[in-house]
A and B are shown apart, each in its own frame.
Chain A
Amino acid sequence: MSELLSKSEEEALVSRAKSGDGTAYEALVRHNADRLYAVVLRFSATESDAEEATQEAFLRAWRSIGRFRGDARFFTWLYRIGVNEAKRILDRRPGADVVASTEERRIDDVADEAPHVDVQAEGTELREVLEQAIRRLPDKYRAAVVLRDVEGLSTAEAAEALGLREAAFKSRLHRGRMALRAAVAHYVLDDDDPLPEPGAPELS
């Protein structure tokens, strides 16, 4: 049950949850859990950390739902709590990085290799480098890309989920996508698209 709630359906559930109705809050959990996890995962070192951060975020949000003013969507409030939880968990792990160290080495290695990988491995490798590249994006681009392109929300839905006007959302999405494209350039150019010669003037 992860389809988007209409604003009025959500307001009704939030209102009941605020008055202590656990069943209403559980419905909010079911509707928001997948999307929250998808965002939080990209702020976490491991999947289990992301699950823990997601659970903690829902527990924390339940305890403080009285302070949710309802002028934004529930998810907008919730995902900020989730991202903070993920960062707290990350800080607790000495030396941990949101980008796994083995993957980091992989990405540095490929920069010196031929741009083309064998077709069989291409899908998997692109997924891996994209996962790592997302984690290197500035925070505000990360959530935009995850909700729009990973989770498949429409522009309007993703903008609303993040509490942004559409124009501001589109700008973040564009910058995030272009940064990802630059980061994984070796994986997404085909035989007709040789890399530009080093030092070749490029229009900007």
Chain B
Amino acid sequence: MHSPRFHLDHRFTRGRLSAFHDGELGPVERRRVEHHIADCPDCGRAARSLQRVIGGLALLRRRNRSRLAAGVIERLRTQTRRDGDGSRH
């Protein structure tokens, strides 16, 4: 059986894993989460897997899409010329 304090800390931690990961908790809140994570296998697991999810999300970033902007600009210029408003470009 867990103490009532454990349950309070558990709920507290579950709502703050994201902010904890981002380093956005104040020192008191952070220590409370750290302490609970060390104590609670479920929350430890949740914190570690959340970290891997966020790490995985960073890998989805696609770089060097400057072609896309160039394509948009080309279409804008074509359309503007077609609209007979050459003064805009």
Contact = CB atoms under 8 A, between A and B. Distances in A.
Interface in B7-47: 7, 10, 14-15, 17-19, 22, 24, 40, 42, 45-46
Given A29-B72, A51-B71, A55-B72, A150 B61 contact: yes
A138 interface: no
B2 to A, nearest CB: 8
Contacts of A174: 15, 17-19
Interface in B65-85: 65-66, 68-69, 71-73, 75-77, 79-80
Nearest to A145: B57
A69 to B, nearest CB: 22
Nearest to B80: A22
B60 A150 contact: yes
A192 B13 CA distance: 21
A26 B89 CA distance: 10
Given A30-B69, A37-B68, A130-B56, A23 B49 contact: no
Contacts of A170: 18-19, 24
B76 A59 contact: yes
A58 B70 CA distance: 12
Interface majority SS on B: helix, strand, loop or mixed? helix
B-side interface size class: 35 or more
A-side interface size class: 35 or more
A121 interface: no
Given A22-B76, A55-B75, A131 B22 contact: no
Interface of B: 2, 7, 10, 14-15, 17-19, 22, 24, 40, 42, 45-46, 48-50, 52-54, 56-62, 65-66, 68-69, 71-73, 75-77, 79-80, 87-89
12 contacts: A22-B89, A30-B69, A30-B73, A33-B68, A34-B65, A34-B68, A55-B72, A55-B75, A155-B24, A173-B18, A177-B53, A203-B40
Given A23-B89, A37-B62, 15 more contacts: A21-B88, A22-B89, A25-B76, A30-B69, A37-B68, A54-B68, A58-B76, A123-B56, A127-B59, A174-B17, A177-B53, A181-B49, A188-B49, A188-B56, A193-B49
